[in-house]
Structure 1
Amino acid sequence: MIIKTITAATLLVILSGCQTSDTRLELSQENNTSVQLSANEQMKEIAQSYFDDMIALSPVNGTFVGYAQYNDEFQAPSTPASRSKYVTLVQGYQSKLRAIDKTTLTGQSLISYNILARDLAFSLAGTQFPSYLIPINQMFGAHNTFASLGSGASAQPFSSAEDYDNFIARAKQYVIWLDGVEQNMREGIKQGVVLPKVLSAKLLPQFTAHIVDDVEQSVFWQPITNLPNDSTQEQKQHITSAYRNMIEGTLVPAYKKMAKFLETEYLPNSRSSVGLGSLPNGKAWYEYNIEKHTTMKLTAEEIHQTGLSEVKRIRNEMNWVKEQLQFEGDLQAFFVHLRESDEFYFNSPEELISAYEKVKRKIDKRVPILFDIKPKADYVVKAVESFRAESAAGASYSAPAPDGSRPGIFYINTHNLKAQPKFLVETLSIHEAAPGHHFQIALQQEIKGVPMFRKFGGYTVFSEGWALYAESLGKELGLFTDPLMWYGRLVDEQLRAMRLVVDTGLHAKNWSREQAITFMINNSSMAESDVVAEVERYIAWPGQAVSYKIGQFKIQELKGYAQKALGERFDVKAFHRQILTDGAVPMAILERKIKAWVASQA
């Protein structure tokens, strides 16, 4: 799973609730101008202006991409006026695109035009759904991003006195945004658009965790323990005092207020149902989410049936592993054995992290077997921060800083060691790091000639589809030689197959949370705690979980097409280069690109 990256959904859908800035691009349409921009040049200017306007809506994203001028800002609350301005802004960019002669566009400019035209239209279609009424949940939301920034372990810089002042200013705006979240969630209660009770209960601790009596026990105090060495004593005293006041006078009261609202108002009014389909216009909303995450028009029923077929196929492969290990008993007994036997789990968080660091070194040496490109940026392995570990995914990836000042981060959740079996180490490392997310996202940021909205944008189906496809390369990279490690690969693939069934079951077929949990336990050796976290993730994030398998299927389909068409001339390194060197794109655009590449090889 990818975190803290700017996705197309972030720029175009989530931000639809933010305050907009004025559009800044005015292209001359007069034929008698002394300098007439070419269509390609016009597209480049539109793309940059669009990116700048979207970053202005979400200053935190500006921090992540290195726009330091936004380090003291936070996004504005979602209001009817801001949502209306956003629609006007998007429509304005549609007008700018229509003014371009598309037939004269070439190369990256043509790709950018097609991507932006699609995304703008899709964004407007999404404004019919009131996502601003449920702006946060236990899985994602700016409240967790803010805490990560304030911890000093994320993108927010803390290397000068000015940096500390910037975060104090950002904190003041964060509190204003949080008030807006509360107001919109209260409106959601009135309209019957609220979180399920089970998610509201998991959300509450994310706020109470920041209510401290001793400010020095706050996650926000951590930057004070690492004050810049070149600061004067007077500066250190000023910063320390200002931070104490910020935590005591601004943040703790805001967290108390939000926690009280959640506990006394929101939780009692949260819904007992869990699927998006139970909300007003929920069926259409879920279908929109499927297309948002997959970039393809697929029905919930066909996804569900595909998932059932894949689950059955992978169970058969798991049976083969069981037989190779000469385990006596059926597959369910094998699952129980793997869940409950201590030999399959690490003894400490340190041992867990060390195992992933060892596999990193192993994979790094073997990647050139299948790739002739790799990112300049490296990545590190870290434990998930304690304040979000309880409800965070088992593993995730955070992109490196564009300027190289911060490596990519492969996060491992050490909260529950029983959710991190040893046999997952190889497959999970491939997926989250190299040649999975780290390769794809870091390379995307490093590509020259690609506009910023594509460098830092993306599509779940592409990014997660690539990472799952990357797992299938493990044997060719000399991994999965141990049957248990191969079983780990099957565990990961089974997880993604079950998601097709469970996500659609929850949101389109009226499945209960308990029904989803039972299905996953019966078809995998996952720890029950991990299954619960996964199911609650799908409840919180409708449609996202189906994109993994859908993306993998498409990339494998295109690989098969290229292999058949090119025969002995097929070069897997060249194929991978073609997939990765334009960044994440919608599946239809990727298909056109690969087929054009194959035709050019004839």
Structure 2
Amino acid sequence: MKKSAIAIVISSLVALQGCSNDAVTATQNVSQSQTPLAPQVVSASEQYLSMVDQYFNDTLELEPIYATYVGVNTYNDKFGNSLSETYLKHRHELNTRYLKQAKTIDASELTEELKLSHSMFIYDRDMDLKSEAYPAYFLPINQFYSTVFTMVQLGSGESAQPFNTVEDYQNWLSRLSGFINWIASAEQRMQQGIDNKVVLPRTLVERIIPQLDAQLVESAPESLFYAPINMMPESFSETDKALLKKSYTQLIESKLLPSLQHLRDFVKGTYLPNARGSDGWSGLPNGRAWYQQLANKHTTTQMPVDEIHNVGLSEVSRILSEMDQVRIQVGFKGDLTAFFDSLSSEPQYFFTDKQDLVDGYMALKEKINLVLPQYFNVMPKADYVVKPVERFREKSAAGASYQSPAVDGSRPGVFYINTYNLKAQPKWGMTTLSLHEAAPGHHFQIAIKQELKDIPQFQKFKGYTAFEEGWALYAEYLGIEMGLFEDPYQYFGKLSDEMLRAMRLVVDTGLHAKGWSREQAIQYMKDNSPMAESDIRAEVERYMAIPGQALSYKIGQLTILKLRAKAETKLGDKFDLKHFHDQIITSGSLPMAVMEQKVNDWIEVELKKH
């Protein structure tokens, strides 16, 4: 009888290591008594899950700040310089390797849920590789998204970075050192951008300078990065407290503040004079193709930007008509423009106290929570709180935003409301904004995704703007059925927010594909909505900074509504809205094509049941 493979290996090791005769005899007995071992069969699902788990771990090592946000604290001392050549090379190799490996897996042998995941995984790797054709690293900061903001938030003690132990504090010092290196890299990349004519519009650079100025203070204790020292746990020894205080002071004063000062001086003295006069991406080398790629990425579709522009024009026309019906319903005597002016200026539509605005959203939370069980089988375990946007970023921040809860349940989700300009926060817009940012919008979809047990880790934390923003806009629509818009003014608020998303299709494509100026975009939004001019300016400048992102909201919502209408038509009386919502939000965030396939499959299964 032939020895099994494992017996041969054991025998070889015995000979090499000079084992006793007893060991040799035992090995021979095993080889004589056992039949050859059958090769272990690994299913396609096991192969896939093993691969994506390894991918997720590799990604966490490459993106240590991302790891902190998803609750993995192994890399809390690392920064991860996404602007370095080493990082770019590793990211390319990772995407190339895993795309090739994923394509070797027989998807037909996967479970239905993993088929969706597999399609999503291949889509991501392919999209990441296609994005490498464009030098986004030449534009490392803008006024809307900034690593500086991220680091200030992490260092506040109220975000994902933990500050519970002495090691936590030391980890943050190490991460700050990495951030200082990143600042130098950002200057180098921006200089390369100047050399290659890939720079930000002048208006946006002018917005960045005061943001950097806000970080420049006289001494370490005045810096936002010093915040952890002011909240050290009582359990720390006096020796540890003194050493940490000294270390933080030295790092901030001798390295961090000088680096931020140098960045600010570079932006103002070198970058600003070389900023471009054009406002859209078409003003960059190969900018039109780059913009189409960004539109594809954010919408997770292949829709041509000209088609998106036309969809926007059609939606703006429809919503204007509905707004006029509200004007007639409430008995307003002037035309629609006068109605806009009234809603945007009359004192009864605004709070005069910032806390009253926050309290108003807390009251809405309770009202909405009462009706949610009628529409959802699955709801998040995590709660959310309402907070005002921090002062250091309130001037440039959006009117509202959402931050996901901690994965381990230690921190709730946060619905941020910008209280900087109360005239930009009308009372009539509160219901729709709460539905969008909190429940059942972003909070529901993102918290549920993080709490799912039967999907790979990478899928829990991956997000697609079209899916997540499309869902949030759909949540606003759902408010109609929930009976939350019986007040015509609140319904007008819903139309106003929907109008914003429709205008985005027109303005974003106008700026980046049709040669619109910033002023032209601002005027279009003023003509078609009651938004405060300060909000309009911030919105237009946001589109200038992150092209294509604003397209995702309306495209995502229209896709979900289309799928719901299809399911209602095909299933008729058998259609169950709760079950439809289960299909949308219980697999995590999905590209539009993958989501459509999931819903189509569900419809077929339901038809067979009946």
TM-score range, shorter chain: over 0.9
Indicate which of 529, 543, 546 corresponds to 1:541.
Answer: 546
Indicate which of 87, 92, 104 corresponds to 1:87.
Answer: 92
Give the superposition deviation at 1:159. 1.4
Residue 67 of structure 1 corresponds to which residue in structure 2?
Answer: 72
Cα distance in 2 for residues equivalent to 1:74 and 1:522 = 45
Cα deviation 1:430-468 (Å, max 9, x = unaligned): 000000000000000111111111100011110000000
Residue 366 of structure 2 corresponds to which residue in structure 1?
Answer: 361
Tell which structure's C-alpha radius of gyration is larger. 2
Q: Check the 8 A contact 2:116/2:598 in 1, yes or no.
A: no
Residue 425 of structure 2 corresponds to which residue in structure 1?
Answer: 420
Residue 150 of structure 2 corresponds to which residue in structure 1?
Answer: 145
77-86 or 502-511: bigger deviation: 77-86
Cα distance in 1 for residues equivalent to 2:390 and 2:553 = 25
Give the superposition deviation at 1:299. 1.1
- Aligned runs of 1:438-517 on 2, under 5 Å? 438-517=443-522
Residue 44 of structure 1 corresponds to which residue in structure 2?
Answer: 49
Letter in 1 for 2:448: L
Give the superposition deviation at 1:217. 2.4
189-198 or 306-315: bigger deviation: 306-315
Cα distance in 2 for residues equivalent to 1:531 and 1:418 = 13
Distance 1:112 1:406, change over 3 A: same
Give the superposition deviation at 1:234. 1.8
505-514 or 315-324: bigger deviation: 315-324
State whether structure 2 residue 105 is matched by structure 1 residue 100: yes
SS of residue in 2 equivalent to 1:410:
strand
Structure 2 unaligned runs (5+)?
Answer: 1-36
State whether structure 2 residue 311 is matched by structure 1 residue 284: no
Residue 9 of structure 2 corresponds to which residue in structure 1?
Answer: none
Cα distance in 1 for residues equivalent to 2:429 and 2:224 = 30
Letter in 2 for 1:397: Y
SS of residue in 2 equivalent to 1:409:
strand
Distance 1:146 1:33, change over 3 A: farther
Cα distance in 2 for residues equivalent to 1:66 and 1:250 = 29
Residue 319 of structure 2 corresponds to which residue in structure 1?
Answer: 314
Cα deviation 1:356-401 (Å, max 9, x = unaligned): 1110111111101111110000111111111111111110111111
Q: Check the 8 A contact 2:62/2:87 in 1, yes or no.
A: no
SS of residue in 1 equivalent to 2:302:
coil
Cα distance in 2 for residues equivalent to 1:489 and 1:545 = 18
Q: Check the 8 A contact 1:399/1:409 in 2, yes or no.
A: yes
236-245 or 560-569: bigger deviation: 236-245
SS of residue in 2 equivalent to 1:68:
coil
State whether structure 2 residue 554 is matched by structure 1 residue 522: no
State whether structure 2 residue 390 is matched by structure 1 residue 379: no
SS of residue in 1 equivalent to 2:74:
helix
Residue 429 of structure 1 corresponds to which residue in structure 2?
Answer: 434
Q: Check the 8 A contact 1:51/1:453 in 2, yes or no.
A: yes
Give the superposition deviation at 1:77. 4.8
Residue 198 of structure 2 corresponds to which residue in structure 1?
Answer: 193
Q: Check the 8 A contact 1:77/1:181 in 2, yes or no.
A: no
State the identity as a percent: 48
- Aligned runs of 1:401-412 on 2, under 5 Å? 401-412=406-417
Cα distance in 2 for residues equivalent to 1:221 and 1:321 = 51
Q: Check the 8 A contact 2:82/2:88 in 1, yes or no.
A: no
Q: Check the 8 A contact 1:291/1:297 in 2, yes or no.
A: yes
RMSD: 1.3
Residue 7 of structure 2 corresponds to which residue in structure 1?
Answer: none
Letter in 2 for 1:192: K
State whether structure 2 residue 121 is matched by structure 1 residue 113: no
Give the superposition deviation at 1:34. 4.0
Cα distance in 2 for residues equivalent to 1:418 and 1:267 = 31
Cα deviation 1:400-446 (Å, max 9, x = unaligned): 11100111111111111111111111100000000000000000011
Letter in 2 for 1:364: N
Cα distance in 2 for residues equivalent to 1:377 and 1:472 = 23
Structure 1 unaligned runs (5+)?
Answer: 1-31
Letter in 1 for 2:45: N
**Paired residue total:** 571
Letter in 2 for 1:188: G
- Aligned runs of 1:244-283 on 2, under 5 Å? 244-283=249-288
Cα distance in 2 for residues equivalent to 1:61 and 1:151 = 17
Bigger relative CO (Cα 8 Å, ≥ 6 apart): 1
SS of residue in 1 equivalent to 2:321:
helix
Cα distance in 1 for residues equivalent to 2:570 and 2:111 = 25
Give the superposition deviation at 1:216. 2.5
Cα distance in 2 for residues equivalent to 1:246 and 1:363 = 47
Cα distance in 2 for residues equivalent to 1:307 and 1:62 = 37
Q: TM-score, normalised by structure 1?
A: 0.93
Indicate which of 291, 294, 297 corresponds to 2:299.
Answer: 294
Cα distance in 2 for residues equivalent to 1:157 and 1:415 = 28
Residue 212 of structure 1 corresponds to which residue in structure 2?
Answer: 217
Letter in 2 for 1:136: I
Cα distance in 2 for residues equivalent to 1:362 and 1:149 = 32
Q: Check the 8 A contact 1:77/1:180 in 2, yes or no.
A: no
Cα distance in 2 for residues equivalent to 1:570 and 1:238 = 64
Q: Check the 8 A contact 1:159/1:228 in 2, yes or no.
A: yes
Q: Check the 8 A contact 1:77/1:176 in 2, yes or no.
A: no
Cα distance in 2 for residues equivalent to 1:84 and 1:445 = 30
Give the superposition deviation at 1:316. 1.1
SS of residue in 1 equivalent to 2:325:
helix
SS of residue in 2 equivalent to 1:137:
coil
Cα distance in 2 for residues equivalent to 1:33 and 1:188 = 59
Q: TM-score, normalised by structure 2?
A: 0.92
Cα deviation 1:255-295 (Å, max 9, x = unaligned): 10100000000011000101011111111101001110111
State whether structure 2 residue 601 is matched by structure 1 residue 596: yes
Cα distance in 2 for residues equivalent to 1:403 and 1:154 = 13
Cα distance in 1 for residues equivalent to 2:476 and 2:82 = 40
- Aligned runs of 1:230-241 on 2, under 5 Å? 230-241=235-246
Indicate which of 535, 558, 581 corresponds to 2:586.
Answer: 581
Distance 1:114 1:270, change over 3 A: same
SS of residue in 1 equivalent to 2:68:
helix
- Aligned runs of 1:332-343 on 2, under 5 Å? 332-343=337-348
Residue 16 of structure 2 corresponds to which residue in structure 1?
Answer: none
Cα distance in 2 for residues equivalent to 1:209 and 1:155 = 23
SS of residue in 1 equivalent to 2:117:
helix
State whether structure 2 residue 164 is matched by structure 1 residue 176: no
Residue 399 of structure 1 corresponds to which residue in structure 2?
Answer: 404
State whether structure 2 residue 131 is matched by structure 1 residue 126: yes
